[in-house]
Amino acid sequence: MKAIVLEKFGGLDSLVYQDIPEPTAKEGHVVIQIKAFGINHAEMHMRRGEWAEAAPVSGIECVGIVKSCPGGEFPVGAKVAALMGGLGRTINGSYAQYTRAPVSNVALIDADLPWAELAAIPETYATAWTCLFRNLEIEKGQTVLIRGATSSFGQAAVKLAVNAGARVVATTRSEQRAQMLKDLGAVAVELEGPQLSARIKGAKTFDAVLDLVGNSTVIDSLAIVRRGGRVCLAGWLGGLEPIADFNPLLQMSSGVYLTFFGSFVFGTEGFPLADVPLQAIAQEAAAGRLDVKPTRVFKFEEIHEAHRVMEANEAAGKMVVVVD
């Protein structure tokens, strides 16, 4: 099969096209003929050698058709999504014509959508859905702040929260992108920056905050929610510098909740992928009630350009690659 192989750590030329053997059937796994896959920052870090683990074939998610499933958990020919479970890290991932993923990290995603749109769903929407409806437990009518909302993850969270009937306030570092967030359904947009809690209207009344900016803002986010409100830390758009001198006694209001979610837990006992309604999300999109269209679609032969766009922060949303 054709694959994009990580030949060495480094720049765009580290990714090379090679013919390698197809994965064979294995108990507890699903062999998938890949039709399209999403592009993620994790794969850029793997390419550079900045991740602890990197498989020869990168790619942490895909959509495609089941070629084999020895355990019978998925029928041959079914449309499925796969994400995490070691893909691209400890086992060959989705930058190829075929991959083999653990059954626990595969889910049905049959809907009348182009492969490019289906490929925009798995990692981004599974993570956003889990943060919103499991960690933050948002409900219809609640007010939710999404910090870092112009990222592909943030945009997906805005759409899901709005569709669930929540009142969404979003943040961005660019005033020029405020209208885009309002078009997605945000009732208000705030300029991201230090001490947002002192500037934002309705501080101490928000039911939930999804913080994708990270360690630099999470303490401030705790000052925005009401008593009983929840904050979920799930991204590091502002960098990975650790929180310095965090003293809950002085910096955290009584009665608020701080939680964390990382998509690397998908497929574990506590976070089965089956818990995420990927099929329902895809069907909502097919019915026109949710826009999952990627901002950029690349051919398999254009992986270098896809990584260049990602590295230059030119994506403005989710990017996918279609495999012929």
Please check whether residues 78 and 171 belong to one and the same domain: no
Please check whether residues 101 and 153 belong to one and the same domain: no
Q: Are 256 and 227 in contact (CB under 8 A)?
A: yes
Residues 56-115: pLDDT tens digits?
A: 999 999 999 999 999 999 999 999 999 999 999 999 999 999 999 999 999 999 999 999
Residue range(s) defining the domain that contains residue 194: 124-261
- Domain harbouring 110, CATH code: 3.90.180.10
What pairing do the DSSP bridges indicate for beta strands 29-38 and 61-68?
Answer: antiparallel
Q: Which of 261, 284, 310 is the last residue of a domain?
A: 261
Please check whether residues 152 and 255 belong to one and the same domain: yes
Sign of the alpha-carbon torsion through 63, 212, 233, 307: positive
What's 266's DSSP letter?
T
Please check whether residues 31 and 111 belong to one and the same domain: yes
Please check whether residues 158 and 70 belong to one and the same domain: no
Q: Which of 261, 294, 311 is the last residue of a domain?
A: 261
Which is nearest to 101 in space by CA: 4, 23, 36, 22? Answer: 23
Distance of CA 42 to the CA centre of its chain: 10
pTM for this model (two decimals)? 0.94
Please check whether residues 153 and 224 belong to one and the same domain: yes
Please check whether residues 70 and 157 belong to one and the same domain: no
Using H for helix, E for strand and C for coil, what is the string for 26-89?
CCCEEEEEEEEEECCHHHHHHHHCCCCCCCCECCCEEEEEEEECCCCCCCCCCEEEEECCCECC
Please check whether residues 306 and 248 belong to one and the same domain: no
Please check whether residues 163 and 236 belong to one and the same domain: yes
DSSP labels, 158-169: HHHHHHTT-EEE
pLDDT number for residue 43: 95
Please check whether residues 96 and 179 belong to one and the same domain: no
| Phi, psi angles (nearest 5°) of residue 57 | -110, 120
Buried b vs exposed e over 248-265: b needs ≥16 C-beta within 10 Å?
Answer: eeeebeeebbbeebebee
Q: Which of 261, 280, 314 is the last residue of a domain?
A: 261
SS3 percent helix, strand, coil of the chain, rounded to 5, is: 30, 25, 45
Q: Indicate the SS3 state at residue 217.
A: coil
Is residue 64 classed exposed, middle or buried when 0-12, 13-18 and 19+ CB atoms within 10 A define those classes? buried
**How many domains is the chain partitioned into structurally?**
2
- pLDDT by residue for the chain (324 residues), tens digit each? 999 999 999 999 999 999 999 999 999 999 999 999 999 999 999 999 998 789 999 999 999 999 999 999 999 999 999 999 999 999 999 999 999 999 999 999 999 999 999 999 999 999 999 999 999 999 999 999 999 999 999 999 999 999 999 999 999 998 889 999 999 999 999 999 889 999 999 899 999 999 999 888 999 999 999 999 999 999 888 777 878 788 887 778 889 999 999 999 999 988 989 899 999 999 999 999 999 999 999 999 999 999 999 999 898 899 999 998
Please check whether residues 70 and 56 belong to one and the same domain: yes
- Domain harbouring 152, CATH code: 3.40.50.720
Distance of CA 220 to the CA centre of its chain: 23
Please check whether residues 132 and 246 belong to one and the same domain: yes
Q: Are 113 and 263 in contact (CB under 8 A)?
A: no
